Chains A and B, each alone.
Chain A
Amino acid sequence: MLRQLEGSRAVAEAVALCRPEVVCAYPISPQTHIIEGIGALVKSGELTHCEFINVESEFAAMSVCIGASATGARAYTATASQGLLFMIEAVYNASGLGLPIVMTLANRAIGAPINIWNDHSDAMAVRDAGWIQLFAETNQEAVDLHVQAFRLAEELSMPVMVCMDGFILTHAFEGVEIPTQEQVDAFVPPYEPRQVLDPHEPVSIGAMVGPEAFEEVRYLAHVKQLQALDLIPEIAAEFGGTFGRRAGGLVSTYRSEDAETIVVALGSVLGTIKDAVDALREQGTRIGVVGIGSFRPFPAAAVRGALGGARRVVVIEKALAPGAGGIVATDVSMATAGLPLQTHTVIAGLGGRPITQRSLMELLKLAGSDGLEALTFLDLDRSLVERELARMARRRRSGPTAENLLRDVGIVSARVT
């Protein structure tokens, strides 16, 4: 049924429809509403055969998921930002052990300086942890990706992270079609584990592996990621056939067939970018969009195929590798190596800075006239940066940077943008 509801609520209901048997999490903004929603469904009895476990930290949350999953339970958690970093050792363990845990990541910046708002720094910090990472463009897609995630995780016996933009999606009210229990039951069969801790048939999971086989274990994790490259589009296609709407898949394209310039991005900013592209198309610009739905595994062939006909690609990403530049752009460049394609990296939306259509239009017009540099920071306040650099040059004890900048801008209690 199509309903107007908060993204977090929609995801909570979707996860409940997938019949998780163990849910545990530690609250952290902007993920908290999801877990609260699931907790309420367990308490009210709407979600049965599910143990909701309150834990003392994110590290415990993922550790409990690992234990639950290893004993054959369908396990779910959600986190964000520092919470993900706090559990990172267990995040690697979950994938290293091949446990099909599903986790929602309500994407949020990482401190210091502390910042609760959205960017993709958290997801990018664990891009090499061996998890599948899917990105949702809308709350509808977030719902649909969770249904697909349990199928995907359990078919491959590996964990899946569903990334949705914190606040922008988690706290947005919009129309979302919530599937029925019958539909989800038909799509997500009961969990049949590939490995299970069973007192009647004792095995050990998590052995120490030395140089004799470690590389092979890692290689097999890579093979599973490559298998996911086939399975993700298969599951997305089956989902489309069953539920009657497109969701998931490796990449999505928008007006990119004849495009000279193609914008590449992940997550909810694709909506704003599409509006900008429509406006530029009306002005006669041949421009399109490629959305990356699966960042891990990285769909190199699909990206190469989608970008192959363009002259230039503008990768807009909500994370920065300090000292290097773009993260997504690096993968895009590798995927398109050898093609006559100019690649630009645009760092945007860090720490919740709004990405506006106006700024996007200016940026993309500049790209169209070959005026865009290889690495750009959207809407960067140059004067603010210059003031701090001058301060640092002027004297040794220039003070803490974040506080200096806040003093420069003047703390405004309710700035809109």
Chain B
Amino acid sequence: MVTAAEILSVAAFGDGRFAQAFPSFGSERTGAPVVAFCRIDATRIRTREPIVAPDALIVQDATLVHQVDLFSGLRPGGYLLVNSSRGFDDLGLSDLVASHGDERLLTVPATELALEYTGRPVPNAVLLGGFAALTGAVSLDAVVHAIAARFSGKVSTGNTAAAREAYRIVERRRGVLADASPA
């Protein structure tokens, strides 16, 4: 997750924006839940406070959605991307979709994509492809470049390919949702 926020900040920087990424470690234990933040702006970012009301939220581990209060800060009209091969109903998040409206809330099977393209169940970079499609806050090109700059060899090529696929999946799902929603 920390890596994802860092790569996202590099992507935004690549798009010519100012960006700031930083982690909030719950504990110094591998596998402990971790929150990481990324701010993207057209002007220099001075604040150092954690983000409590995000414009967009990426959930990397869907098993946390009922363990930790993840969504309290998510504003109406905010974006949500959850790493899951299941839908929000299956995840028990129908109420959230009902209260926030569904066109900006999506799931994407990032772990499965990561396994398929890299052989490892590490979804962080893949999710950023989906994030680019969902929000438009960063370009896919910048995300791909940032992933390629972070990793090398097969991890790099696999992750960039998987991120592109996540972008396509999210773009398609958004299209379906937009067509289905009343104008």
Contacts and interface: CB of A to CB of B under 8 A. Distances in A.
Interface of A: 4, 6, 29, 116, 165, 167-168, 171-175, 268-269, 271-272, 274-275, 354-357, 412-417
A168 B22 contact: yes
A173 B19 contact: yes
18 contacts: A4-B9, A4-B10, A4-B14, A116-B28, A167-B25, A172-B20, A172-B48, A173-B6, A173-B9, A173-B20, A174-B18, A174-B20, A272-B48, A274-B46, A412-B68, A414-B32, A414-B33, A417-B50
A175 B2 CA distance: 17
Contacts of A4: 9-10, 13-14, 19
B109 interface: no
Interface of B is mostly: mixed
B48 A168 contact: yes
B48 A175 contact: no
A414 B5 CA distance: 17
Contacts of B19: 4, 173-175
Contacts of A354: 49-50
Interface of A is mostly: loop
Interface of B: 2, 5-6, 9-10, 13-14, 18-28, 32-35, 45-50, 52, 64, 67-68, 73
Nearest to A276: B47
Nearest to B49: A356
A174 B21 CA distance: 7
A65 to B, nearest CB: 26
A272 to B, nearest CB: 5
Contacts of B50: 354, 356, 416-417
Given A4-B10, A172-B20, A173-B21, A414 B48 contact: no
B35 to A, nearest CB: 5
Contact of A173 (B22, B26, B27, B73): B22
Contacts of B45: 174, 271
Contact of B46 (A168, A272, A355): A272
A415 B35 CA distance: 8
